[in-house]
């Protein structure tokens, strides 16, 4: 019999609602799994078992009284330390924020908990959530549960490692340049970056974000099955007036042609052979499911979008970002900013304004392209998951490999990382799936068709 902690969220919620198992039993199993594997990977950096069990008991009480606890009834989840959760420090991996206790829940946290989810704990992120690696001076390093020599990804590295290792069925993550998608890729699970405006988010504990963060940063789920991504998105996409970017758009849209474009080397990016093979295999599985899949030599701009992304990020008070990193003293954050110094110092208001304007044009080009191809398949990057802390040794190489992660947020479109298995050496491989604006349902449908035709990837055993 499959252990409770290993079950997908959809099955857990169904069993809890049917009374086959209690939310308390699920929570105890989740906490036991956390105790067994988290010391090896340090994915969850704060856990309060008494609060977890109290939340599970509340779900059981609601069901006993005939009330609906929500679509995530009793589902164990984890929450990233860079979002407000009432009573917890919103550390964002920083010593300077270890006592920044949230007085209210971020909307995405409120959405998960009000849907009946039970939090197992808070997951790690690199300092300032800057990197595709996951360590900081406050919480320490998170390890990849598949292979300790590989990064677990970042910035939602704790969420990726926890979910891959069976600590929770759903992990909350955030993504401005790959921070949901890369940990999903590196840890051998799935991750969904929703459309800008789909999932409401707001941290009352800090200042409002600058424009780059406002138009590119989103919250979304990581999970071991595509159906769990869908369930998590349903819970997360709840309205909240505190986020003025949130849009009241249905989760399902009108029927579209089952037509997809696949591009192995967009903008001349040459992926590792394993990634090219994974992309072609995923294309064949999609064809087997009845989709028309056309292999193209080019897509709308990605490399140019990377320049826009970096301009909007580093062109807004770069000096202040550097000063904050130096005060924190975090080597990874300092290196991340130093690697962009020459580019950042070349930026002024004309370049910043031009980037904002060009963002609109790039988004338009992608939007028009998606009218012809409702789904696009492309590589997650050009390299297999990096050796841990590679950016401290080969910063330029890391950034060059990540163009398809960095550029897509400029478009505002949803993008999904679908794990497609492991190499013989146990290294995860994946494909990236893009859909039209607010058409996460189409990306999920394509991902589900591929997933159904490939062997499942086992839960990681650190």
The distance from CA 198 to its chain's CA centroid, rounded to whole angstroms, is 14
Q: Which of 22, 155, 219, 415 is catalytic?
A: 155
111 catalytic, yes or no?
no
Alpha carbons within 13 A on the beta-carbon side of 388: 17
Task: Give yes or no for a contact between 304 and 354, defined as CB atoms under 8 angstroms apart.
Answer: no
Task: In whole angstroms, give the CA distance from residue 72 to residue 35.
Answer: 23
**Nearby residues of 124 by Cβ (< 8 Å), 6 or more positions away:** 42, 43, 44, 45, 81, 93, 134, 135, 136, 139, 140, 142, 157, 158
Q: Based on the residue annotation, tell me whether 40 is a catalytic residue of this protein.
A: no
| Terminal CA-CA length for the chain | 21
Question: Cα separation of 41 and 33, whole Å?
Answer: 12
Annotated catalytic residue within 22, 111, 179, 283: 179
Q: Using CA atoms in the order 84, 87, 92, 96, what is the torsion angle rounded to 10 degrees?
A: 130
User: Do 461 and 40 meet the contact criterion of CB atoms below 8 Å apart?
Assistant: no
Bridge-based pairing of strands 118-123 and 76-80 is: parallel
**Is 155 a known active-site residue?**
yes
Instruction: Compute φ and ψ for 353, nearest 5 degrees.
Output: -65, -40
Q: By the 8 A CB rule, do 415 and 449 touch?
A: no
Query: What is the set of active-site residues?
Result: 80, 155, 179
């Amino acid at each position: 019999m499959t252990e409770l902690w290993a079950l997908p969220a959809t099955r857990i919620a169904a069993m809890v609602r049917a009374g086959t198992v209690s939310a308390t039993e699920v929570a105890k199993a989740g906490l036991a799994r956390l105790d067994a594997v988290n010391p090896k990977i340090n994915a969850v950096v704060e856990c309060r078992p008494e609060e977890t069990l109290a939340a599970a008991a509340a779900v059981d009480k609601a069901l006993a009284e005939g009330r609906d606890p929500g679509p995530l009834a009793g589902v164990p989840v984890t929450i990233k330390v860079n979002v407000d959760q009432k009573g917890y420090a919103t550390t964002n991996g920083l010593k300077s924020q270890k006592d920044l206790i949230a007085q209210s829940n971020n909307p995405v946290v409120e959405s998960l908990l009000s849907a009946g989810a039970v939090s197992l704990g808070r997951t790690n992120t690199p300092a300032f959530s800057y990197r595709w690696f996951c360590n900081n001076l406050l919480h320490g390093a998170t390890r990849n549960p598949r292979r300790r020599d590989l990064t677990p990804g970042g910035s939602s590295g704790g969420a990726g490692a926890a979910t891959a290792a069976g600590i929770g069925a759903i992990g909350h993550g955030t993504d401005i340049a790959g921070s949901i998608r890369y940990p999903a890729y590196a840890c051998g699970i799935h991750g969904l970056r929703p459309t800008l405006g789909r999932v409401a988010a707001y941290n009352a504990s800090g200042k409002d974000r600058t424009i780059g963060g406002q138009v590119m940063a989103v919250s979304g789920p990581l999970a071991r099955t595509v159906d769990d991504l869908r369930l998590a998105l349903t819970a997360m996409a709840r309205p909240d007036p505190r986020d003025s970017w949130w849009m009241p758009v249905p989760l399902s849209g009108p029927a579209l042609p089952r037509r997809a474009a696949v591009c192995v080397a967009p903008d001349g990016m040459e992926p590792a052979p394993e990634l090219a093979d994974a992309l072609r295999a995923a294309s064949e599985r999609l064809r087997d499911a009845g989709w028309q899949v056309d292999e193209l030599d080019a897509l709308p701009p990605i490399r140019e979008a990377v320049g826009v992304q970096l301009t909007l990020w580093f062109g807004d008070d770069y000096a202040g970002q550097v000063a904050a990193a130096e005060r924190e003293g975090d080597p990874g954050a300092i290196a991340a900013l130093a690697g962009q110094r020459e580019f950042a110092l070349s930026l002024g208001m004309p370049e910043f304004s031009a980037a904002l304007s060009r963002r609109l044009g790039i988004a338009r080009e992608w939007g028009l392209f998606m009218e012809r191809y409702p789904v696009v398949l492309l590589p997650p990057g050009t390299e297999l998951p990096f050796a841990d802390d590679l950016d401290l040794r080969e910063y330029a190489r890391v950034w060059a490999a990540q163009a398809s992660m960095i550029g897509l947020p400029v478009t505002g479109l949803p993008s999904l990382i679908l794990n497609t298995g492991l190499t013989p050496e146990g290294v995860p491989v994946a494909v990236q799936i893009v859909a039209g604006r607010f058409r996460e349902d189409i990306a999920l449908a394509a991902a589900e068709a591929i997933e159904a035709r490939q062997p499942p990837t086992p839960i990681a055993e650190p």
